[in-house]
């Protein structure tokens, strides 16, 4: 199981999470918004860490994590048939560097380009701790 840490007030980020919720239906991915700082502290993730882009965390090995465009690629790899697309993308000369730059631009301008939300989006598939699921 993996946790996707996303910006819960970013329209683009929330749209991506909603799409992932539909595709995965909580089978591999659970979600926590970066605004839930107390939850993130258990993984030693700070608000400044989150400003560098979404984070994908392996719940079975929390020190295993991906961030930014690397997280997007790893999420893609986890989805059905996604690994084929990720492999093709990685095989294209210059695609990784271009993708990293594009991700950084969107990350840094997400509110100007697509706006923000009044409140934090609460996922239908929140990250669970043992038998306890935390709704945000």
Paired tokens of 121: 């989006």
pLDDT value of residue 134: 44
pLDDT value of residue 129: 53
pLDDT value of residue 82: 85
Query: End-to-end distance of the chain based on CA atoms, in angstroms?
Result: 18
Paired tokens of 49: 């860490």
pLDDT value of residue 84: 85
For 9-63, write each residue's pLDDT tens digit.
999 999 999 999 999 999 999 999 999 998 999 899 999 999 999 999 999 998 8
pLDDT value of residue 64: 93
Q: Number of C-alpha atoms within 13 angstroms, CB side, residue 80?
A: 5
Paired tokens of 33: 């918004």
Q: Does the pLDDT at position 133 exceed 50?
A: no
For 72-130, write each residue's pLDDT tens digit.
999 999 988 888 888 888 888 999 999 999 999 999 999 999 999 999 999 999 986 54
- Domains of the chain, by residue range, sit at 2-133
pLDDT value of residue 31: 96
- Rounded to two decimals, the pTM is 0.88
pLDDT value of residue 20: 95
pLDDT value of residue 76: 92
Angle between helices 95-114 and 69-78 (to 10 degrees): 100
Contact 75, 29 (CB under 8 A): yes
């Amino acid at each position: 199981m993996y946790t996707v840490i996303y910006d819960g007030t970013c329209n683009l980020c929330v749209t991506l999470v909603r799409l992932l919720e539909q595709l995965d239906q909580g089978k591999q991915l659970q979600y926590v918004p970066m605004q839930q700082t107390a939850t993130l502290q258990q993984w030693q993730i700070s608000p400044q860490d989150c400003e560098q882009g979404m984070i994908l965390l392996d719940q079975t090995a929390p020190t295993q994590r991906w961030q930014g465009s690397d997280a997007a690629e790893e999420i893609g790899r986890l989805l059905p048939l996604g690994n084929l697309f990720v492999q093709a993308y990685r095989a294209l000369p210059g695609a990784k560097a271009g993708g990293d730059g594009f991700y950084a631009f969107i990350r840094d301008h997400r509110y100007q380009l697509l706006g923000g939300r009044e409140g934090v989006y609460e996922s239908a598939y929140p990250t669970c701790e043992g038998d306890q699921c935390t709704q945000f």
